[in-house]
Amino acid sequence: MSEEAKSDNGMEDLQDIASPADSMEPPSVELAVSNDRGHRKIRTGVVVGDKADKTITVIVERRFSHPLYGKGVKRSKRYHVHDESNACRVGDTVRIVETRPLSKMKRWRLLETLGRKA
């Protein structure tokens, strides 16, 4: 058959026809891996130590009711927090966010200073 006869019969070269699967590009690596850093924990606490360089110690207090007796219980935990600008002082209320390990003890980073001690 000649080329004209093929086109008259509705037959075309397979190379000229793009299948739907070919037209859709596979998702790139950037789309498959989300740029969102997930749900990082955020805590609010009070600075209790600022002696180290670029590090502050923050105490975070949480309140909950006792599982058996129902009485209110307070528990506190100290976190070593990275403070790049050495801006925080003892008594400041700060918000911290979980991050990658920065040193042996530091796994938190200063997000913002909420208030200063009067």
* Domain assignment of residue 106, yes or no: yes
Instruction: Determine the pLDDT at residue 81.
Output: 97
Structure token digits, residue 93 = 């209320």
Strands 55-65 and 42-49, sheet pairing:
antiparallel
Residue 48 lies inside a defined structural domain of this protein: yes
Q: Is there a single domain that holds both residue 46 and residue 92? A: yes
Number of domains in the chain: 2
* β-sheet bridge partners, residue 77: 60
**Residue 83 counted as domain residue:** yes
Average pLDDT over residues 63-74: 97
Nearest partner of 89 among 113, 60, 63, judged by Cα: 113
Higher-confidence residue of 41 and 14: namely 41
Q: What is the pLDDT of residue 19?
A: 52
My answer on whether 108 and 52 are in the same domain is yes
The whole domain housing 82 covers 42-115
Give yes or no: residues 56 and 95 share one domain: yes
pLDDT of residue 22: 52
What confidence tens digit (pLDDT) does each residue in 78-111 have?
999 999 999 999 999 999 999 999 999 999 999 9
Q: Is residue 51 domain-shared with residue 73, that is, in the same domain?
A: yes
Amino acid 71: pLDDT: 97
Q: 10 and 50: one domain? A: no
Distances (CA, A) of 5 to 16, 70, 94: 17, 88, 79
Displacement of CA 45 from its chain's centroid (Å) = 20
Q: Are residues 93 and 48 in the same domain?
A: yes
Q: Is residue 68 part of a domain?
A: yes
